[in-house]
Chain A
Amino acid sequence: MTSQYIALPKGVAEQTFDAAISSFRNVLGDAAVLTSAEQLAPYIKTMMPVPDANHMPSAALLATTVEQIQKIVAICNQHKVPIWTISTGKNLGYGSAAPAERGQVVLDLKRMNRILEVDKDLAYALVEPGVTYQQLYDYINEHKLGLWLSMPAPTAIAGPVGNTLDRGVGYTPYGEHFLFACGMEVVLANGEVLRTGMGSMPNSNTWQVFKWGYGPYLDGIFTQSNYGIVTKFGFWLMPAPPAFKPFVIQYQHEEDIVEIVETIRPLRINGIIPNAVVIAHALYEAPVIARRSDYVSGPGSISDEAVRKITKDHKLGIWNVYAALYGTQEQIDVNWQIVTQAFGRSGKAKILTEQEMGDDPAFNYRAKLMRGDMTLTEFSLYNWRGGGGSMWFAPVSQARGSETLKQMALTKQILAKYGLDYSGEFIVGMRDMHHIVDVLYDKTDPEQTKAAYQCFDELLTVFSAQGYGTYRVNTAFMDKVAETYGPVQRNVHKTLKHALDPNGILAPGKSGIR
């Protein structure tokens, strides 16, 4: 007999699953329990170089309240059915809305989307998981709150809860999102509801203003993890500054990254440049304005010569440093002088502002990201190769010039071996850099898909052997990355998992934790 489900959770018999589904229907109503292939289609598409069948869900549940979620975890425990929680579900390039393992039930919280509070004076928000950045942006504008959001490049369609829980980044001074998280409500696997930090105390009004509470700080264990289901999330917003000055600094040689990083680090650590600066390679920017087919024919990665031609034709640097100054005009004037002096010293840098860049689409979308405006222009990346394949390779680097050059060269060399291009950038923290490389490939081409898989695997192997850890990874490689952090951390993760979720119902496999 063929199954009425497109997939089943590992080790769960169809009869048992039937019973779970009918209990879910009792809690949520029929319309909020999706099981048909047509209903589940949007949960299946990923950008990873593995068969979509590997990550096919068995069902999706559209819950909207904490009580429903408590009842869902009870049913999951009873039938040992695993659930994979998503908030806005746009984890593109990291696994999208599909679960880590075939057959897991997606708990989709997109419809649990109330903005519970935005405090203008204390500049914080408390939201439910399904709130998108667009929704919050509109709310802030409508109510004239004068607050800015920090967002990842998929802005409008993604959301603060999912992004921060996966420890994502944005581009304003609040760009390291988890640093600005303050207070969570979490449904635990046993159905209890935990409010972290000050939220644990009845009648406290400091939940969204003081992060640490009392005793061990717990918020961290609910990020990149599977220890709970976050149902409310507090975070800080940036008061809109009176003035904002975005700029780009172009350099013409790959080795110049050493000078760039050495120049930027003190400016960043000292707060002269307050935002998450991006040092983008020409091939990260080119797709916004150029077509690969105009420069490359045939297989293999793009040549350095062709990249140089692109930079000439489209007035790009080999490196393009996007940053901004924020504050009063007087503060900006002082800091601008410091920045231009620092970058002007060697004579290699070309410093450009809104005045010179006018309507340049690459500059424009970067400027939008640095002031928390809506744009999806970065999706141009996918026009470079076509075919919709993408994995983010995201090793962490010291903010030290020699290290960034080494990581770039190593990445480029491994990508070239598999015929892939280096579409990379460094997102500058204070002392670290997220080295972000979009491993782009044509998913409709089986050979390229295979090459992309092997390439990514080799990138992880080689980087970890050199002591370079990855900060975040797609669901096909979570175990591999967990392994690179060594057995002790893995054991601690496992111990916590077994204590908090003994039946293993919450997102087994997330960050390699089961």
Chain B
Amino acid sequence: MKIIKLGQIVFGFIFTAILAISPAWSTPEETPHPGFAWQNGAEIYAKICAYCHEAQVGPPIRNRELPPAYIRAIVRNGKRAMPAFRSSEIDDESLVKLVDFISKKETEH
């Protein structure tokens, strides 16, 4: 039992150390250059939605004047077999652009 307790103390020490001196733990190439970001609604549509909705897997969704709130809700909640998409995948700002792209008529783009 004593050994286990000792282990826990050491363990606890490491955490405190991390909280206090965390930069020292950083890995060498951890330069904060930004990760991937979507360019616009058309890109998201082409690289996610179109694979199903332009391929007779899911129903067509463009040029149907679907209400923006409805599109937003389906993207975030999924629907039946359609997976839900998290804000980590399509951030809120990009979702606005995507909804705009889907809900507007092709001629309006």
Contact = CB atoms under 8 A, between A and B. Distances in A.
Interface of A: 34, 38-39, 41-45, 47, 60, 62, 64-67, 70-71, 73-74, 77-78, 88-90, 92, 96-97, 108, 110-114, 116, 128, 130-131, 134-135, 155-157, 185, 190-193, 361, 374-377, 379-380, 382-383, 386-388, 390, 443-444, 502-503
Nearest to B15: A74
B18 to A, nearest CB: 4
B51 A374 contact: yes
A191 B14 contact: yes
Given A135-B36, A191-B14, A388-B80, A108 B86 contact: yes
B63 interface: no
23 contacts: A45-B77, A64-B35, A70-B22, A71-B22, A74-B19, A77-B11, A96-B84, A108-B88, A110-B89, A113-B36, A114-B35, A130-B35, A134-B47, A185-B27, A190-B11, A375-B51, A376-B51, A376-B52, A379-B58, A382-B80, A383-B81, A502-B4, A503-B11
Contacts of B86: 42-43, 60, 89, 97, 108, 110
A45 B51 contact: no
Contacts of B83: 45, 90, 92, 96, 157
B88 A192 contact: no
A66 B27 contact: yes
Q: Which of A34, A116, A191, A374 has the most CB of B within 10 A?
A: A191
B81 A379 contact: yes
B33 A67 contact: no
Contacts of A388: 78-82
Contacts of A131: 36
A130 B80 contact: no
A368 B82 CA distance: 21
Contacts of A375: 51, 55
A97 B86 CA distance: 9
A39 B81 contact: no
Given A42-B77, A157-B89, A388-B80, 18 more contacts: A42-B76, A42-B85, A65-B32, A67-B23, A74-B19, A77-B11, A96-B83, A110-B88, A113-B36, A114-B33, A191-B25, A192-B14, A361-B55, A376-B51, A376-B55, A377-B51, A380-B56, A383-B57
A390 B32 CA distance: 39
A39 B85 CA distance: 11
A249 to B, nearest CB: 25
Interface in B60-89: 76-89
User: Nearest 7 pairs between A and B by C-beta?
Assistant: A382-B81, A388-B80, A42-B84, A110-B88, A376-B51, A74-B15, A113-B35
Contact of B89 (A38, A89, A380): A89
B17 to A, nearest CB: 8
A377 B87 contact: no
B30 interface: yes
Contacts of A77: 11-12, 15
Contacts of B17: 191
Contact of A74 (B18, B47, B85, B88): B18
Nearest to A378: B57
Interface string B28-40: 0110110110000
